[in-house]
Structure 1
């Protein structure tokens, strides 16, 4: 079977800062149809599913203004340019929750919306964590709780967890019987 890639006839920068590079790309399909597509490129993100010995996940309750909803999600954030991804994931857990993962195991890497967004997402699994004297960032979460993994899956069904990273991590951990 012959595979025909889409042709790129040019890319024009719309805006760029440290969090996003937005451009328009002139694309031609294999049948000759041409169109302009917006493309967003964002830095790599690292999130951590922290599980304790009772199979409870460390989740944060926060308001996401873009969708104007309160949701539960994993701690995580951008990876600094030269930073090790696992270290970034562990750092984010401590900054956002006050807990420090004991170990980091790569769980899955995925792209959340490859039709228009390039933003690698890396999820790690920590099977334990220690409470530190770090005060969680007040801007990150309204509440931080340990929630049984099976209850977190039910929260997805109820729409209380909607972020792709958290959904992927919970389902992946359940599939591994972590």
Structure 2
């Protein structure tokens, strides 16, 4: 089967910093239609679904100003340039929640919005965690709780969990033989 790719004629940088590269791209479709598309490229992110022995997930409650909503989500963040992705995911758990994961296993990698955003998201599964002497960063989380996977799925239905990484991780974990 012949596959025809879209043609890129030009890309113009709009803005760039350590968090995002925003550009416009002139594209031509296989049928000849041309248009300009905004494209955002962001650094790789690593999140961790930490599960305890009772199959509860470690979630953070935080305000997301962009959507002006309080939500529950996984700990996670950007991977520094040469940092190991699993190490970054574990580091974020500890910094944001005050818990240190006992193990790290890659769960899934996905792109949240491939029509206009390039930002690889890697989710890890940690089985068990130990509390540290470090308090969670007040700028990261208002509250940190262990919540059952079934309750987390109900929270998705109620709109209390809306972030793609957390939704993907919860549904993926429900399909695992935990």
Q: Report the TM-score, using the length of structure 1 for normalisation.
A: 0.99
Q: Identify the residue that residue 133 of structure 2 maps to in structure 1.
A: 133
Q: Identify the residue that residue 75 of structure 1 maps to in structure 2.
A: 75
What secondary structure does 2:147 align onto?
strand
**Any gaps of 5 or more consecutive residues in structure 1?**
none
Q: Identify the residue that residue 61 of structure 2 maps to in structure 1.
A: 61
Q: Identify the residue that residue 88 of structure 1 maps to in structure 2.
A: 88
**Any gaps of 5 or more consecutive residues in structure 2?**
none
RMSD between aligned residues: 0.5
Encode CA deviations 1:87-106: one digit per residue, 9 max, x unaligned: 00000000000000000000
State how far apart, in whole Å, the 1-side matches of 2:98 and 2:177 are.
26
* Deviation at residue 134 of structure 1 after TM alignment: 1.2
State how far apart, in whole Å, the 1-side matches of 2:168 and 2:88 are.
19
How many residues are treated as equivalent by the alignment?
Answer: 178
State how far apart, in whole Å, the 2-side matches of 1:5 and 1:141 are.
43
Q: Identify the residue that residue 161 of structure 1 maps to in structure 2.
A: 161
Q: Report the TM-score, using the length of structure 2 for normalisation.
A: 0.99
* Deviation at residue 62 of structure 1 after TM alignment: 0.3
Q: Identify the residue that residue 3 of structure 1 maps to in structure 2.
A: 3
